[in-house]
Amino acid sequence: MKKIINDPANVVPEMVDGMVRSYPQYLEKIKDTAAVVRADKDSMSGKVGIVSGGGSGHEPTHAGFVGKGMLSAAVCGQVFTSPTPDQIYEAIKAVDQGKGVFLVIKNYSGDVMNFDMAKDMADMDNIKVKSIVVDDDIAVENSTFTQGRRGVAGTIFMHKIVGALAQEGASLDEIDATAKKVLPNIKTIAVALSAATNPETGKPGFVLKDDEIEYGVGIHSEPGYRREKIRPAKDLVTELVGKLNDEMHLEGHKKYAVLVNGMGATPLMEQYIFSNDLLDKLNEFNVNPSFMKVGNYMTSLDMAGISLTIFELADEKWLEYLNKPVETIAW
């Protein structure tokens, strides 16, 4: 393992300090935690708070999306490990403005359990909390750390929608209702060329041969659904779009947002080549995305690979919400 770190046991606190100190205009650390809260407190005033978080190693997720118009706070667990309930609870308290707090949780058993416990703690303080569990990864049912489907890069779209709603003053119930409508419209699937090496263990999550790829891998190196020899970008697009289409039934009269997401070590050059082939493939369905992003948004440390998220914009308002300006490090 060759990494730019100090003590492997301290990577998360040092990273959080580095983020907050590098971007004090966006982030403040919540005292004695690895949670960060929006520095621009004025923009949270009188609004529902939006809190997300999870294991670290997916940067810029989640702290990179804390700021006006998006998340109010993010809780950073140890690498690939859920944050503790008390830290989530501290984040809920830090952002509550009397209007309640909405939690965006990725579907991992540890996250679901710990965010639920934090919600119970907040209930006892009479802070109203609702939540959504994002399970956008269509690759497999159940997984190493998950009952049901995993929550992956599509979570970013959920952050953006609920963040925009909160910013315009929507109530907790309105945000909850919209999040529930949005959720089944976001689907993601990935292909990996190599696994991440967790600095705490020093070992890669799996090993692929020099000419091998794996479809459907998770963001913590959970197994996918097939290994085969590397193929041209066009073929990877065909595979991933085919799987998504089986779920979503892509049609030209519908509107879509698309996220082509680099897993951490994949150059933008490859992400753009993939995107070019993707847009050709979507054209075969007469689909031309209404909104698109390409880049490293939900990474898995130094994993090489790409995930593809398609979000059907079943409500016209959702495109508006995606396009609303934000003040964050990474959106």
Contact 230, 208 (CB under 8 A): no
Q: Which is nearer to a copy of itself, 70 or 190 (CB)?
A: 190
Query: Is residue 319 a contact residue for a copy of itself (CB under 8 A)?
Result: no
3-state secondary structure of 281: helix
Give min distance, CB of 112 to a copy of itself, in A: 24
CA gap 160, 134 in Å, rounded: 13
Does 301 interact with a copy of itself (rule: CB under 8 A)? yes
Binder among 81, 82, 84, 275 for a copy of itself (CB under 8 A): 275
**Span from 45-53, 132-140, 147-155, 260-268 in contact with a copy of itself (CB under 8 A):** 260-268
Q: How far apart are CB 153 and a copy of itself at their closest, in Å?
A: 15
Tell me how far CA of residue 77 lies from CA of 102, 178, 284, 323, in angstroms: 19, 27, 42, 30
Binding to a copy of itself (CB under 8 A) within 29-68 occurs at 56-57, 59-60, 64
Q: How far is CA 253 from the centre of its chain?
A: 27
* Angle 94-96-101 from CA coordinates, rounded to 5°: 115
Among 78, 194, 221, 245, binds a copy of itself (CB under 8 A): 194
Nearer to a copy of itself, 117 or 292 (CB): 292
Only one of the segments 96-104, 216-224, 249-257, 273-281 lies at the binding site for a copy of itself (rule: CB under 8 A); that segment is: 273-281
- The only residue of 32, 42, 211, 316 in contact with a copy of itself, by rule CB under 8 A: 211
- Compare residues 179 and 240 and give the one whose CB is closer to a copy of itself: 240
Q: How far apart are CA 238 and CA 92, in angstroms?
A: 42
Active-site residue flag, 58:
yes
- C-alpha distances (whole Å) from 141 to each of 72, 125, 150, 324 are 31, 36, 8, 34
**Residue 268 makes contact with a copy of itself by CB under 8 A:** yes
List residues bridging with 134 in a β-sheet.
106
- 253 as an active site residue: the answer is no
Determine which residue in the list 234, 254, 255, 324 makes contact with a copy of itself, applying CB under 8 A. Answer: 234
User: Is residue 14 a contact point for a copy of itself (CB under 8 A)?
Assistant: yes
213 binds a copy of itself (CB under 8 A): yes
Say whether residue 85 binds a copy of itself (CB under 8 A): no
How many alpha carbons lie under 13 Å from residue 183 in its C-beta half-sphere?
19
Q: Is 292 in the site for a copy of itself (CB under 8 A)?
A: yes
Round to whole Å and give the CA distance between 330 and 65: 6
Q: Which is nearer to a copy of itself, 85 or 305 (CB)?
A: 305
Please report which helix (H) or strand (E) contains residue 75, including its range: strand 73-79
Compute the half-sphere exposure of residue 306: CA atoms within 13 Å on the CB side of its CA. Answer: 25
Q: Of 98, 184, 242, 267, which lies in the binding site for a copy of itself, with binding defined by CB under 8 A?
A: 267
Return d(Cα 291, Cα 241) in angstroms, integer.
Answer: 17
Judged by beta carbon, residue 24 or residue 98, the one nearer a copy of itself is 24
Burial class (CB within 10 angstroms; exposed 0-12, middle 13-18, buried 19+) of 325: exposed
**Residue 129: enclosing H or E segment and its boundaries?**
strand 129-134
Which amino acid type is present at position 131? Answer: S
Catalytic residue among 62, 220, 249, 253: 220
Task: Work out whether 206 is an interface residue with a copy of itself (CB under 8 A).
Answer: no
User: Which residues contribute to the site for a copy of itself (CB under 8 A)?
Assistant: 2-7, 11, 14-19, 21-23, 56-57, 59-60, 64, 191, 193-194, 199, 210-213, 230, 232-234, 236, 260, 264-277, 279, 292-294, 296, 299, 301-302, 304, 306
Task: Write out the catalytic residue numbers.
Answer: 58, 220
